[in-house]
Amino acid sequence: MNQPLYYCLICFVFFISSCQSNPEKKQEKKGTPIVYKITGSLNPEVNGTVYLQDHDNSMQQFRRAKVEQGKFVLEGELVIDAFYDLIIRSDSGAVKSFNYSTPLYVEADADYDVAIKEKGDHFSLEVKTNSLTTNELIAFNKNKEKVQHELDEQLAKYSDETAALNAKLMTFSRGQESIYNQTIDRLEEITKQSNEIRASKDDKRFYEEYVLNSKQKASFLIPYSFKYISLNKENYNDYDQILAHLDPAIQKHPLVKAAVAKVDEVKNYYDNMPVFPAITPRNLKGDSLKFDQLVDKKMIIVAVWSSKGKNSKMDLPVLVRKEAELKKMGVEVVYLTDDEDYERWRASNRQIGLGMNSYLLNVTDRDFIENSYNVIGTPRYLWLDPKSRTVIELAGADPTLPDFIKNVKNKL
């Protein structure tokens, strides 16, 4: 991983690990109706409207109050303590237009005071509260914005360097092949690093880092983050343990229950997943697939494809070209088609060049694989342990991606 990206992620992890907030009361929270009160001030002193709206659904809005001479008090009842956005905006036709927003976790027995100050074309918004979750959320968003800004700056530098290198390529003459190749290598490296940075800017990455590194046990931001986290065979146990060690006072809240249900679904899926069956489909020569002859391999990639699928015809030739390198690593590729048309399968098989490791499934085996391993679209790559036929990876890496071989090596 490149140094700027590594530095930014380390800063993010350090920040959330050291983040401290006011301690919560140990009263059990089950997600019951609450009474709330939010006060605030605006400078300059303006008039407008203030209200709460659902954090994930802007169409769901709640009681409104007036902002008069820069002051407001918003109070009322909510069906449940949850994440909301506080919206402060000018009225229609106002001389001065404004629209401010800040996320809050609105809960019982919590004080909220919001102060907004304009500074030229900019403004500052400060929330003072004894709500642990609100303080966690505000700190999380501020640090995410900071890290993303730093990553954007690095992307801009790479963009400028790419433009300069592309211009440089046009100036090379015969005899400068070495410098030309060095320039091409640098362009490829920049592309790789830029892709890593773009991937790290995904909100999902920030929620994952927060949950895995937070020291808090009573913050509802932890279970809320599970809406954005992708669970798989490698990580579901870590997240299961995090939820199990949350403060008992919040364990019965709907947010925690929803997060637990999401983890349990993945956990049950993998715990109850059958091993890959010892099926014996036939190839073009009529020879049967024999898994017992592959037990000495380090891994088996089962590529489920269809002659009707455009993606299969585009992706599989790439995998075929990488088979030689995979074999050196001890990885065997087996192609299984879910196609019901034998002649079409035979023609596509030869067109793509799949060879004798391509087999035609019967209806029973096809249905079992599709239903047991949730094969909805093709191509799909199942990674198996050769000795036990246990599914190592339910959705193996796309062979067309640059890091495919690297991902395979990491799994061996």
Over residues 213-259, the pLDDT tens digits come to 999 999 999 999 999 998 888 899 999 999 999 999 999 999 999 99
The pLDDT assigned to 25 comes to: 47
List, for residues 401-410, the tens digit of each pLDDT value.
888 998 899 8
Cβ contacts of 33 within 8 Å, gap of 6 or more: 77, 78, 79, 80
CB 307 within 8 A of CB 344: yes
Q: What is the structure's pLDDT at 37?
A: 97
Mean pLDDT score of the chain, rounded to an integer? 89
Which residues pair with residue 293 across a beta bridge? none
pLDDT at residue 4 greater than cutoff 70: no
Q: Residues 324-373: pLDDT tens digits?
A: 999 999 999 999 987 778 888 889 988 898 889 999 999 899 899 988 88
Each residue's pLDDT tens digit, 141-200: 999 999 999 999 999 999 999 999 999 888 888 888 888 899 999 999 999 899 889 888
Task: Give me the torsion for CA of 401, 405, 410, 412, rounded to 10°.
Answer: 130
pLDDT for the residue numbered 20: 46
Assess whether pLDDT exceeds 90 at residue 45: no
Given a contact cutoff of 8 angstroms between Cβ atoms, the answer to whether 22 and 130 are in contact is yes
Contacts of 120 (CB under 8 A, 6+ apart): none
Looking at the domain that runs over 291-411, which CATH code has it been given? 3.40.30.10
Count of H-run helices and E-run strands, the chain: 12, 13
Backbone angles phi, psi at 246, to 5 degrees: -65, 160
- From residue 59, how far is each of 56, 84, 88 by CA, in Å? 9, 12, 16
Tell me the pLDDT band of 3, cut-offs 50, 70 and 90. low
Token digits of residue 387: 């000795």
**34-130: what fold?**
Immunoglobulin-like (2.60.40)
Rounded (to 5) percent helix, strand, coil in the chain: 45, 25, 35
Residue type, 327: K
Angle value at C-alpha 36, between 31 and 41, nearest 5 degrees: 140
Nearest to 137 by CA among 87, 84, 179: 84
Is 16's pLDDT higher than 70? no
Query: Quick one: pLDDT at residue 18?
Result: 47
Taking 60 as the threshold, does the pLDDT of residue 22 lie above it?
Answer: no
Question: Taking the C-alpha atoms of 406, 408, 409 and 412 in order, what is their torsion angle to the nearest 10 degrees?
Answer: 160
Provide the percentage of residues in the chain whose pLDDT is more than 90.
Answer: 62
Which whole number is the average pLDDT over 9-24? 47
Torsion of the alpha carbons at 375, 379, 383 and 386, rounded to the nearest 10: 100
14 has pLDDT over 60: no
**pLDDT over 60 at 1, yes or no:** no
- Those residues with Cβ within 8 angstroms of residue 146's Cβ, 6 or more apart along the chain or in another chain: none
- Token pair, residue 304, equals 């489920």
pLDDT value at 87 more than 70: yes
- Percent of the chain exceeding pLDDT 70 equals 94
State residue 334 phi and psi, 5-degree precision: -120, 130
H or E stretch covering 200: helix 177-200
